[in-house]
Structure 1
Amino acid sequence: MANTAAALHILVKHKEQAEDIIQQLKKGAKFHVLAKKYSSCPSGKRGGDLGEFKKGQMVPQFDKVCFSGETLVPHLVKTKFGWHVVKVLYRT
């Protein structure tokens, strides 16, 4: 069972925008470029990089994807903050 994970994310207000970002990623767009352009989270300035964090440190819906979702593919997650496009880089 992983204790830590590292992830990138893009936070937007609307599901449609998040879905559009996922489509752009599937067509080859760079995650860090889209994060800087669209993300309302301060991490957007760093290309969406959240760094490494421990299990339980993030809100439950986000945590679940980071610790059980497939790595290196974009996931759509709804939290109290809005819609996230999450890419889990690795788990340790």
Structure 2
Amino acid sequence: MATTAHALHILVKHKDQALDVLKQLEKGAKFQALAKKYSKCPSAKKGGDLGEFRKGQMVPQFDKACFQGELITPQLVKTRFGWHVVKVLYRT
């Protein structure tokens, strides 16, 4: 069972914008470039890189996506902060 994960994310206010970001990723856009352009999180400066974090450190919905969702494939997650496009790089 993984206890840490490393993820990138793009935080936006509306689902429509999150879906648009996903479409751009599917067309080959770079995750880090989209994070710098759209994300409302301070991590945007680092291309959305949250670094490595422990299970339970993030809000429950985000935590579940990072520890149970697919690796590498961007996914949508809704939290109290807004809509996240999350890309989990690895788990340990």
Per the normalisation by structure 2, the TM-score is 0.99
Return structure 1 stretches of 4+ with deviation > 4 angstroms. Answer: none
Letter in 2 for 1:8: L
Identical positions, percent: 77
Give structure 1 stretches of 5+ with no counterpart. none
Matched residues, number = 92
Deviations 1:53-73 (A, max 9, x none): 000000000000000000001
Q: What is the 5 A alignment of 1:18-57?
A: 18-57=18-57
Give the Cα separation in 2 of the matches to 1:26 and 1:73.
Answer: 10
Q: What is the 5 A alignment of 1:1-92?
A: 1-92=1-92
Per the normalisation by structure 1, the TM-score is 0.99
Give structure 2 stretches of 5+ with no counterpart. none
Give the Cα separation in 1 of the matches to 2:80 and 2:21.
Answer: 19
